[in-house]
Amino acid sequence: MKEKIARYIDENKNWLIEKIADIVSVNTVNSPPTGNENNGQEIIEKIFKNLGLEIDRFSPDEVNDFKDSKVYLKGRDYTNRDNLVGIAGEDKKRTLIFNGHIDTVPTDFSKWTKTETSKAKLIGNKIYGLGACDMKGGLISSIFALKTILDLEIPIKGKVIIESVVDEEFGGANGSLACVKRGYTGDFAIVAEPTVMKICVSNVSSRVIEVKITGTKGLNYAGTDVKGVNPMLLGAKLIVALKDYENFLNSLKDKYEVYKKIDKPIRFLFSDIKAGEIGPDKILTTPEECLIRIYMMSYPDVNKDKFADMMLSFLKNYPDIYKYIKNGSIIFSEGRRFIEGGNLDLTLDNNKEFIGKVVGNGKKMANRELKISAMLGGTDFFAFSNYSNTSVIVLGPGGGNCHAPDEYVNLKDLIDLSKIYAGLIYDYCC
């Protein structure tokens, strides 16, 4: 039967390509506090209806007690931003959940070279378009897997749940958490974020840190005997110190089984820096402040409080920097949500069996050797691992240029992923 499933997917891959093109070509940009996700959810809902799925469409704010819970990220507006859940099966065997976010980051299409508009474009083995890799491709692959089982009229005795959620970007996570709070749990969940076809059984913790450094304004070398502070130079020192902190965290990787096999599991992203203004009509002077934005990460067991405490404790090794933290010249603020880390407990027999099934379907269905790894970026993994009784992995396609012009996803990965997902549905739900 699995050979028949794989053959069906190969013979009907145009459905996959067409639906990815449809969903990539519509604006589902997340622009906090608002978003445009319902443009995509209309397409997903139509697919769900054509497949005969039970459908639950709801706003995260409609979920009982969610807005008052500690995990709800406040300040979001969910007008015309609905979660969409499609359900198939009889609930007589195990339950599999496939989770994907429909929202994307904003982009400037004038900087794209492969496609000049929001329309998706297939070039060779790559599908270009905003959200193709992160993560509409993985979401459509999960739907294609379920469609395959249904079209082949294979009875689904368990339950398959597909979640198309809103507001994952910008540290949202309210979409997936709302699904958990609404009661959508299962035996296993797969988050279809791009992993380059690696099975991620762990997820780092992460947070966006915003830094404001205040200095001494004016020309600090002329007409004064006051020793000034240039916030731009102090910011440069801080960046070097934080790179040292990144290296320190990487030196701890041997304490973590899955992370010690990764060359550099902790990778900070120094995203933005601003100090002063440049222009022919701008005076030369010491900038009054320097602003820096950094995406930082740590290991799954590092919680919100420990995340900040570890960084500040490390910076005490740099007295020429730390004194400015103490006097308030350097202020750290926490942008967006702290994204909790999480783990799949591989000491449990059910979880070990599940990973074995994923690996086995990789070989049998797609002729691929899937490797065990960790997710080195924030995802909705923690919604399942920390707030649900659902065991979770991240497994998705490869591609490139996520959050940048000319984003693309590898078509072969999506086809193979559909086969692996379908094989898992067959194993656990049929």
Sheet with 399-400, edge to edge strand ranges: 121-123, 126-128, 408-410, 399-400
Q: Which residue has the higher pLDDT, 283 or 2?
A: 2
Q: What whole-number distance in Å separates Cα of residue 298 and Cα of residue 25?
A: 35
205-339 has which fold?
Alpha-Beta Plaits (3.30.70)
Q: What whole-number distance in Å separates Cα of residue 97 and Cα of residue 87?
A: 9
Q: How confident is the model over 179-224, as pLDDT tens digits?
A: 999 999 999 999 999 999 999 999 999 999 999 999 887 666 554 4
Q: Per-domain residue ranges for the chain?
A: 2-203+341-429, 205-339
Q: What is the pLDDT of residue 219?
A: 64
Q: What whole-number distance in Å separates Cα of residue 236 and Cα of residue 2?
A: 57
Q: What whole-number distance in Å separates Cα of residue 136 and Cα of residue 246?
A: 31
Q: What whole-number distance in Å separates Cα of residue 60 and Cα of residue 78?
A: 7
- Directed axis angle between helix 411-429 and helix 349-366, to 10°? 130
- DSSP for 12-65 reads THHHHHHHHHHHHTS--BEETTEE-THHHHHHHHHHHHHHT-EEEEE-GGGSTT
Give me the chain's average pLDDT, please.
95
Q: What whole-number distance in Å separates Cα of residue 146 and Cα of residue 337?
A: 33
Q: What is the pLDDT of residue 124?
A: 96
Residues 96-106: what's their mean pLDDT? 97
- Taken as a whole, the chain contains a residue count of 430
Q: What is the pLDDT of residue 223?
A: 46
- Distance separating the N- and C-terminal Cα atoms of the chain: 11
One-letter amino acid for residue 13 of the chain: K
Instruction: Answer for the pair 149, 422: CB distance below 8 angstroms, yes or no.
Output: yes
Q: Which residue's structure tokens are 């992993």? A: 195
Q: What is the pLDDT of residue 393?
A: 98
Query: To the nearest whole percent, how much of the chain has pLDDT over 90?
Result: 89
Q: How confident is the model over 292-303, as pLDDT tens digits?
A: 999 999 999 999
Least trusted range by pLDDT, from 28-37, 39-48, 280-289, 293-302:
280-289
Query: To the nearest whole percent, how much of the chain has pLDDT over 70?
Result: 98
Q: How confident is the model over 237-255, as pLDDT tens digits?
A: 999 999 999 999 999 999 9
pTM of the model: 0.95
Q: How confident is the model over 385-400, as pLDDT tens digits?
A: 999 999 999 999 999 9
Q: Which residue has the higher pLDDT, 97 or 115?
A: 97
Q: What is the pLDDT of residue 240?
A: 98
| Cα three-residue angle 189-161-166, rounded to 5 degrees | 80
Q: Residue 245, SS3?
A: helix
Q: What is the CA radius of gyration of the chain?
A: 23
Q: What whole-number distance in Å separates Cα of residue 55 and Cα of residue 88?
A: 9
- Which CATH architecture fits 2-203+341-429? 3-Layer(aba) Sandwich (3.40)
Q: What whole-number distance in Å separates Cα of residue 85 and Cα of residue 44?
A: 10
Instruction: Answer for the pair 166, 103: CB distance below 8 angstroms, yes or no.
Output: yes
Q: What whole-number distance in Å separates Cα of residue 263 and Cα of residue 74?
A: 37
Q: What is the pLDDT of residue 350?
A: 97
Q: What whole-number distance in Å separates Cα of residue 369 and Cα of residue 374?
A: 16
Instruction: Answer for the pair 394, 191: CB distance below 8 angstroms, yes or no.
Output: yes
Is residue 225 scored above 80 in pLDDT?
A: no
Instruction: Answer for the pair 416, 144: CB distance below 8 angstroms, yes or no.
Output: no
Where does the pLDDT of residue 281 fall: very low under 50, low under 70, confident under 90, or very high at 90 and above?
confident
Residues 22-45: what's their mean pLDDT? 97
Is residue 87 scored above 70 in pLDDT?
A: yes
Instruction: Answer for the pair 424, 156: CB distance below 8 angstroms, yes or no.
Output: no
Q: What whole-number distance in Å separates Cα of residue 397 and Cα of residue 413?
A: 5
